[in-house]
Chain A
């Protein structure tokens, strides 16, 4: 069983969305299930601060030992911060996907995007747990 915190929201593409103190900014990463499926992560390519993405755009790439996987933007918005520590410590996505392994913070354009995300129960169902 993978770890699916109840206070986060999720996409079917295995990203999680964490609300921050600023209601217009969310923190995004990949789920514990996703890191387990990918295996040991050796590199993550993240966008520049200021880049904008529409919902479901590819915002980055994850290279694991055995596979490469794209990262999909769960919302429409602008990148306001990236976790540059991942450049040297990509394995923290495996070890601690919800804290040290976070990837980007986005300023959301349309708050309605958040209403379409999965809650922890729905995500658990989605991955068959």
Chain B
């Protein structure tokens, strides 16, 4: 099967982006600017990311909110119309099926899921649907998503969007117009910087891009910088920090699990058991200060000479100018200052556990 193309594909190719297959989609890894410069653009200016590979699943019908509350571990009851919530689908054992965003409209729920998990999530949702009055629809192929991220995002959106959009609070969304296209926009992102995510129909994608991206506006940024930006913030990426063998308490995401929300949800029993006993291991971030010691995904991690895990995500941090990574350590050792060893090529190099995020100066408007 050949890789799917997003509605921005032709634009990426015209910009000489290096295209790679990611989660079944042909996506820009980087543009001619290069991943380090693209990273820097988002930290200091404003960048644009095609994230149309993300999936969108819509729930309508009278029981939509109750159904979403049954499917997800965070509390949809706490979400108002126009609000966004970070949440997850869990297995019966309380491990991650996927991490998601929940958008609550006055007449529907939209779930935004990882590209690699669209098919799996869809089956998961259908398997929980019996006896409840909802309709579900997979809109993933019809919706384009453009993320505008960086400290100058507000200024750019303010200049091009209908009034109100650029004043949205963090994790709120609204409908509006940008560059003449009807869109809806949330104040969300995955970079640690202020920013917006703009949803539109596929056929509007090209006009939206050309309105927002270009000289004096947002610069295009590829997946490589998206990954280094999110890793500097310690944000989880499915398949790395979270998967079906990892529960939210281990991953440092206990705050999205509302065991007392008053609605049973898939995985509740599993997470209750973990919560009662406490997680055996915890996700940590670590730095490798030695020059050239860059931890990569899959490298072995040692604690006191014993192999305890592997590097979940790793790479060179453009902001810290050193190697950074994530791994799981036994709970009693998962504290800042703890020393680990990472097998980097033929050497074991020292890593030091640090408090997340790695990068602490982001412009993101957290609550």
Contact = CB atoms under 8 A, between A and B. Distances in A.
Contacts of A63: 292, 294, 316
A49 interface: no
Interface of B is mostly: mixed
A66 B224 contact: yes
B315 interface: yes
Interface stretch (A36-44, A76-84, A99-107): A36-44
Contacts of A36: 18
Given A39-B224, A42-B316, A65 B35 contact: yes
Nearest to B32: A36
B189 interface: no
A66 B294 contact: no
Interface in B21-42: 29-30, 34-37
Contacts of A65: 35-36, 224, 228, 315-316, 318
B291 A39 contact: no
Chain B interface size, as a band, is 10 to 19
Interface string A18-54: 0000000000000000001001101111000000000
A40 B38 CA distance: 11
Contacts of B228: 65
A65 B30 CA distance: 12
Interface in B1-28: 18
Nearest to B20: A66
B296 interface: yes
Nearest to A67: B296
Q: Which 9 A-B pairs have the closest CB atoms?
A: A43-B292, A40-B36, A42-B316, A63-B294, A65-B316, A66-B224, A65-B35, A40-B34, A39-B35
Given A40-B35, A63-B292, A65-B36, 5 more contacts: A39-B29, A40-B34, A42-B294, A43-B294, A65-B315
24 contacts: A36-B18, A39-B29, A39-B224, A40-B36, A42-B294, A42-B316, A43-B291, A44-B292, A45-B292, A61-B345, A63-B292, A63-B294, A63-B316, A65-B315, A65-B318, A66-B29, A66-B35, A66-B224, A66-B227, A66-B315, A68-B294, A68-B296, A68-B345, A94-B34
